[in-house]
């Protein structure tokens, strides 16, 4: 089976979707699938071995210029190649560039229009390359937002097209009108062209069926998986095994430092937690990518901790490498990323459990499903710092249960939510659409 998988880079930041796509492509490759992981917009960034091809389609710089300036819709191919060079795109996206939301909305709609949008020559270039160089049996897209090319792919290649939905609603809900409504109109048109949609949870299948009006027969559920091969095979010794007078219960957060990931909820909860007499020496460790657009937000939260007299009780480790991530997770007693939105995936939950660290997550999105399947933690009221503080306190005080959840969660991820299991389940789905 030959698969062309279009992923989407995120301008140099670690992105859950492109990390998922990279892990999946590597797992499918180990199963003998001839798969090409093809970046769009920007090169991807992952803390694992990058298996994507060294080229970019729908280069972010190029499509923006074509949206803004008609001249760039007619420039010669040699100039297109310069604008779409991965090294050039990395350099441009490393700058702190902000785009007006109205321009982003217009670009989204134009991209969804495909052959009828301002980026039509990019659609033709992709389809020509797929038809002449890759010749896939199946094309898979990482989200529907890059799906404007689907009708032309179907016409040019005459192959099945699947779309993986990984949180498209989060982006669409942030669009301003009239672009949000126009984007939905274009997506409704594209849904009819797609052979099937892949999601990672029953929650998201039910949600997206209503959100996009997708018929249930078109939805395929493949449980999320992560590469567990470099995680330690035993539950790490945590600080809770120390004697009571010296132990420092440690809470961790590993995700983008952004409002939607709920760092402010965790900070408020930690301040509340430290007021409890038996949690007066609790520690907070934070890690994750911080973009310039969220720097003020993060600094405000760190200032809030310092103002509460907790300057020595928290530490920000920055963006971490793969090895540093595993070490960071294994240093924790409990983990929490209290998102303010209903998460479709939750890769960081599986990573924490793979390291033998139980989680406390809001009771929404895919989290209840993940914790039911893994037995690896507690659920708490979404968006409520006081409730989160209370749940964290209960978790940290019950060492026996904390240890049980750690063991159950670690075993579940290593046995059933690993990358190879995700690859096998995905290949089974692909086999429904491709006869080889």
Listed in sequence order, the DSSP H helices in 85-224 are: 86-93, 101-113, 120-129, 150-157, 168-172, 179-191, 202-212
**pLDDT for the residue 239:** 47
**pLDDT for the residue 171:** 92
Average predicted confidence (pLDDT) for the chain: 92
Q: Is the pLDDT of residue 240 over 70?
A: no
Q: Domain 239-416: which CATH class?
A: alpha beta
Distance, CA of 423 to CA of 3 (rounded, Å): 13
Q: Is the pLDDT of residue 416 over 50?
A: yes
**pLDDT for the residue 347:** 95
Domain extents in the chain: 2-225+419-433, 239-416
Each residue's pLDDT tens digit, 179-215: 999 999 999 999 999 999 999 999 999 999 999 999 9
**pLDDT for the residue 11:** 74
Distance, CA of 105 to CA of 108 (rounded, Å): 5
Which residues on neighbouring strands pair with residue 4, listed in sequence order? 36, 139
Q: Is the pLDDT of residue 246 over 60?
A: no
**pLDDT for the residue 84:** 85
378 Cα distance to chain centroid: 22
Read off the pLDDT of each residue in 349-367 and give the average, rounded to a whole number: 97
Burial 31-64 (b: 16+ CB within 10 A, else e): eebebbbbbbbbbbbbbeebbbeeebbbbbbbbb
**pLDDT for the residue 245:** 42
Each residue's pLDDT tens digit, 253-282: 999 999 999 999 999 999 999 998 888 899
Each residue's pLDDT tens digit, 32-47: 999 999 999 999 989 9
**pLDDT for the residue 54:** 92
Ranges 40-44, 57-61, 235-239: which has the least confidence: 235-239
Read off the pLDDT of each residue in 143-152 and give the average, rounded to a whole number: 97
Dig out the tokens for 75 from the structure. Answer: 């420039």
Query: What is the torsional sign of CA 283, 248, 383, 403?
Result: positive
**pLDDT for the residue 247:** 65
**pLDDT for the residue 220:** 97
Q: Domain 2-225+419-433: which CATH class?
A: alpha beta
Equal CATH topology for 2-225+419-433 and 239-416? yes
């Amino acid at each position: 089976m030959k698969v062309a998988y279009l992923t989407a880079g995120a301008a140099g930041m670690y992105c859950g979707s492109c990390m998922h796509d990279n892990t999946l492509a590597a797992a499918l490759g180990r199963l003998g699938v001839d798969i090409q992981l093809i970046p769009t917009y920007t090169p991807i960034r992952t803390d694992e071995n990058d298996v994507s091809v060294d080229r970019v389609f729908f280069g972010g710089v190029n499509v923006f210029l074509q949206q803004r300036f008609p001249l760039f819709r007619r420039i010669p191919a040699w100039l297109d190649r310069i604008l779409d060079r991965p090294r050039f795109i990395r350099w441009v996206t490393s700058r702190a560039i902000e785009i007006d939301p109205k321009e982003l909305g217009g670009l989204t709609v134009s991209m969804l229009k495909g052959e009828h949008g301002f980026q039509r020559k990019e659609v033709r270039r992709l389809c020509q390359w797929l038809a002449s160089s890759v010749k896939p049996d199946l094309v898979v897209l990482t989200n529907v937002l890059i799906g404007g090319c689907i009708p032309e792919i179907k016409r040019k290649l005459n192959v099945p097209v699947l779309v993986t939905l990984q949180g498209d609603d989060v982006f669409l809900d942030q669009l301003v009108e009239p672009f949000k409504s126009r984007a939905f109109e274009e997506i409704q048109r594209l849904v009819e062209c797609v052979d099937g949609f892949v999601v990672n949870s029953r929650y998201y299948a039910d949600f997206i069926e209503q959100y996009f009006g997708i018929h249930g027969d078109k939805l395929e559920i493949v449980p999320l998986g992560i590469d567990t091969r470099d995680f330690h095979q035993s539950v790490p010794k945590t600080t809770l095994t120390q004697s009571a007078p010296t132990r420092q219960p440690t809470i961790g957060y590993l995700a983008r430092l952004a409002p939607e990931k709920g760092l402010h909820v965790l900070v408020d909860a930690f301040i509340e937690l430290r007021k409890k007499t038996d949690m007066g020496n609790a520690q907070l460790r934070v890690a994750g990518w911080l973009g310039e657009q969220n720097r003020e937000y993060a600094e405000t939260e760190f200032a809030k901790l310092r103002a509460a007299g907790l300057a020595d009780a928290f530490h920000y480790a920055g963006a971490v490498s793969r090895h540093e991530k595993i070490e960071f997770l294994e240093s924790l007693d409990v983990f929490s990323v209290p998102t303010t939105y209903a998460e479709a995936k939750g890769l960081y939950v599986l990573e924490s459990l793979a390291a033998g660290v139980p989680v406390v997550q809001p009771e929404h999105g895919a989290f209840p499903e993940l914790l039911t399947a893994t037995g690896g933690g507690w659920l708490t009221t979404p968006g409520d710092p006081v409730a989160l503080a209370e749940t964290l306190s209960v978790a940290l005080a019950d060492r026996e249960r904390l240890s049980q959840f750690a063991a159950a969660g670690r075993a579940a991820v290593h046995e059933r939510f690993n990358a190879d299991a995700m690859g096998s389940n995905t290949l089974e789905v692909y086999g429904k659409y491709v006869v080889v």
